[in-house]
Structures are given as structure tokens and as C-alpha cells.
């Protein structure tokens, strides 16, 4: 999934994902400092390891076991994901 910063300033970011019946085993960002993945009641939260520059984007990758690869719920900084 691609996370984009459309604001005029650098932003930290957090992605929350929920998968039906499965689990995220790992998550990482392509070509960037890594953040942290946490699980709480089948909701997975990836917190960025670095701020995202204005107009910049980061590609978050994740490996899911025993579930569809498309999450049933997704948000970035509390805003529902678009384009899933």
C-alpha cells in the first residue's frame, strides 16, 4: 500500500489494518527507515520510523497469513484509506 503526504509539512504516520481471520506476520517500508508493527485484538498498527516529506510517499508492504490480502478495514492517521 502507498502512503502519501498531501500536506505542506513533514508528517509522521500510522497505519491501522484489520484482516478477516488472519494475521499480519511482518510489515516494512521500502527504501526507508523502518517503523514498528503492533497487534491489539486483531488490529495491526504500523507506526512510521521517519516523517514523510511534503508531497512524498512511502510504500508499506506487509505479509498476511490465513486471510485475504485486502484488509477489511484500513486507516492512515485516523482517516479511512482510499483506493483499496
Q: List pLDDT tens digits, range 1-28.
A: 899 999 999 999 999 999 887 788 899 9
pTM of the predicted model as reported, rounded to 2 decimal places? 0.87
What DSSP assignment string belongs to 9-37?
A: S-B--EEEEE-SS-EEEEEEETTS---EE
Cell numbers 502512503: residue: 3
What pLDDT was estimated at residue 72? 87
Question: Residue 30: phi, psi to the nearest 5?
Answer: -70, 130
Q: Report all structural domains of the chain as residue ranges with CATH numbers, in order of start.
A: 2-79 (2.60.40.290)
Q: Which 3 state secondary structure label does DSSP give 84?
A: coil
Amino acid at each position: 500500500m502507498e502512503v502519501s503526504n498531501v500536506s505542506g509539512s513533514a508528517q509522521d504516520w500510522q497505519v491501522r489494518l484489520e484482516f478477516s481471520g488472519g494475521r499480519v506476520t511482518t510489515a516494512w517500508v521500502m527504501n526507508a527507515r523502518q517503523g514498528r508493527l503492533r497487534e491489539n485484538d486483531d488490529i495491526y498498527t504500523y507506526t512510521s520510523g521517519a516523517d514523510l516529506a511534503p508531497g512524498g510517499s512511502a510504500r508499506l508492504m506487509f505479509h498476511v497469513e490465513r486471510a485475504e490480502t485486502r484488509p477489511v478495514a484500513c486507516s492512515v492517521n485516523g482517516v479511512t484509506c482510499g483506493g483499496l
